[in-house]
A = this chain, B = another copy of it.
Amino acid sequence: MFKDFLDFFTLTGFPEITWQMPVMWVVCLVLFYLAVYKGFEPLLLVPIAFGALLANLPAPALTTEPPGPVLSTMSGSVVEWHVAPGAMVEEGDLLATLQSSDPEKPELIEYRAPSHGQITELAVMPGESLQVGQKLATIFSREPGGLFYYISRGIEWEIFPPLIFLGVGALTDFGPLLARPVTLLLGAAAQLGVAMTFLAASFMGFSSGESASIAIIGGADGPTAIFLSAKLAPHLLPAIAVAAYSYMALVPMIQPPIMRALTTMPERLIRMKSLRKVSKLEKLVFALLVTVFCILLVPAAASLIGMLMLGNFFRECGVTDRLVKASQNEIINVITIFLGTSVGITMTGERFLKPETLMILSLGVVAFSVSTASGVIMAKILNLFLPEKINPLIGSAGVSAVPMAARVSQVEGQRADPTNFLLMHAMGPNVAGVIGTAVIAGYYIATLK
């Protein structure tokens, strides 16, 4: 009877615990603490941290692939099969020995089963060559894939970020931007931080795809960052997502010193005259303008820009209340849960506990700081030409991180002059930054794919 106990114990996850797991549990606790008690973007960090917790428990069944054709993940040739048709395999069992055709490292690779089931077909004979994506064998089983395998399709298929943007668009008021179009330039300037970070990352040895994905953290747009890294550097997705969202919450700490260092008191005291009322028609035209122009410019970002402006059109046209409500609530809330958890589930110890992660986290700070600085400086440059000066404190809002960066400008402004209200003026560059980041993301995809 007691022996049965021990028998069962071998079926539990306890024997499978690796050293990384407890370490990652601590990482998760830190994230939970930041989210729950420090208010770091809890809507995203809580699902991400919880997903990461699940990812670091020995429960492969959560993410296992469904059975079916096994597509080779490498080019080369089959040296030897270790299974025969009809054999039952567990996920991770040795299937075959392949000879890699990669000139760099032509060693033998042990190819393992991506899912459990029965081998119904061996598609490539020993000696035959095969290429990436070619069918190697077929595995059959009545067991489905893991829950998070299915949920993660939303990221693999790049569906979640655009849907989040649909909601963001329905929540965004471009009025302040339209009332003072020049603020678009502040949103553009902030992207300088992205470019700088790309250089730094590339210099530190990251590939271009990786560098672009890391750099985009400076854009302070979670969905865009996830969209881009899912495309160009999926293996860095968890680290980038964590950085993107936690730094967004650090905005109130990172930005103020930079803003003060770069501005003089007289500049901080500048008062801007209140914004004119923008008509519904203007807002609608703007939504369509951005859609057409930006998609023509960077077709690769079409799904992001298109959904953002669709949501915004719903919001502004005033005759689709039900759709606005659905975008602002049902869609964005539900997708946020799935997006967050499926980002977290990729955060396994093997992937996350690496020096790269620290490098990414530090590069993220650089990105945010440079973006902030370049936004402020651009504002000062504009003041050289503009008849009516703008308060450079709103330049920092160009990093988006809506609406936090704008609130920082407001706070800093009031520190200088308690009767000066910059919030609405800062909303202009704030939302402009979203468009700017989408454009540069499209530029990266177009040139690196």
Contacts and interface: CB of A to CB of B under 8 A. Distances in A.
Given A17-B296, A39-B319, A118-B133, 6 more contacts: A43-B323, A46-B313, A60-B299, A323-B337, A326-B330, A326-B337
Interface residues of A, number: 95
Contact of A121 (B62, B134, B284, B310): B134
A43 B158 CA distance: 26
A62 B158 CA distance: 11
**Listed residue (A17, A146, A306, A447) with the most chain B CB atoms within 10 angstroms of its CB:** A306
A144 interface: yes
A57 interface: yes
A57 B85 CA distance: 41
Interface stretch (A8-16, A239-247, A257-265, A426-434): A8-16
5 contacts: A43-B323, A58-B296, A86-B131, A121-B135, A147-B162
Given A147-B158, A319-B35, A447-B8, A140 B314 contact: no
Interface string A281-304: 000100010011001111110110
A57 B295 contact: yes
A25 interface: yes
Contact of A150 (B17, B62, B145, B157): B157
- Please list the 3 inter-chain residue pairs (A to B) with the smallest Cβ-Cβ separation, ordered nearest first: A133-B140, A326-B333, A59-B302
**Listed residue (A42, A67, A231, A318) with the most chain B CB atoms within 10 angstroms of its CB:** A42
Nearest to A234: B142
Nearest to A22: B292
A156 interface: yes
Q: Interface of chain A, helix or strand or loop or mixed?
A: helix
A148 to B, nearest CB: 8
Number of copies: 3
Given A13-B299, A61-B303, A150-B157, A330 B327 contact: no
Contacts of A320: 42-43, 46
Contacts of A291: 50, 53-54, 57
A303 B144 contact: no
B42 A310 contact: no
A200 interface: no
A7 to B, nearest CB: 9
A445 to B, nearest CB: 9
Nearest to A231: B143
Interface string A155-189: 01111001000100000000000000000000000
Nearest to A9: B297
Contact of A322 (B43, B58, B307, B341): B43
A195 to B, nearest CB: 14
A157 B145 contact: yes
B447 A310 contact: no
A131 B120 CA distance: 7
A344 to B, nearest CB: 10
Contact of A57 (B13, B46, B292, B307): B292
A133 B157 contact: no
A446 interface: yes
A133 B143 CA distance: 12
A114 B35 CA distance: 45
Interface string A61-104: 11000110001000000000000011000000000000000000
A32 interface: yes
